[in-house]
Chain A
């Protein structure tokens, strides 16, 4: 398996634009997590899914953020409208069973100007 695949690797967008980040988890993994990493706040869990169903979205910072998982092999994190303070590295991770090893993608570095 190629591991968790995220796209794009880098995204630069203007304030107010819609941004969509994509993630393909490892095949067979039932859990998918979206994290955000910044210097100020470290690694924060935004939302996670179990069998494509959102379980906990309490980490999503605002209504401007939304995440979907239409099937077991694809998830998106959308920011609309984007703001400069959304600039961060966004990671997707998946795991086979709850509370076991999470496999991380390489991240998407988002810059909102």
Chain B
């Protein structure tokens, strides 16, 4: 069964500092990987996704993530955070094969930005 682990429940970063949110997945084959962001009172919005090809993927709002198969990781990064990045971030994994279309989400990482 597929699973996703986000080891950091809460991260605090100063505005302008760099950010890395960790995500580890468990899946027996090549997965689809996603990062979503949820602002307070809102639904989830896709930041970026990895299906195949270049292991460094670019997303919206200046975010990027790198797929590392050897480490089963898909960490999210941003070189300089803005106060508006404060939100909850979810990593998700989906199977490559059809017939099981469920995305599995991690428990999320809450990001706080301090001035």
Q: Which residues of A contact B (CB under 8 A)?
A: 4, 31, 33, 42-43, 45, 48, 50, 55-56, 91, 93, 98-107
Contacts and interface: CB of A to CB of B under 8 A. Distances in A.
A4 B90 contact: no
Contacts of A103: 46
B106 to A, nearest CB: 8
Contacts, number: 52
Interface of chain A: mostly helix, strand, loop or mixed: strand
B43 A99 contact: no
Interface of B: 32, 34, 36, 41-46, 49, 90, 94-96, 98, 101-108
A106 B90 CA distance: 16
Contact of A4 (B32, B43, B101): B43
B44 A99 contact: no
Nearest to A35: B105
A106 B105 CA distance: 17
A101 B101 CA distance: 11
B32 A42 contact: no
A42 B94 CA distance: 17
A31 B46 contact: no
5 contacts: A55-B101, A91-B43, A99-B96, A100-B49, A107-B42
B43 A101 contact: no
Contacts of A107: 42-43
A31 B101 contact: yes
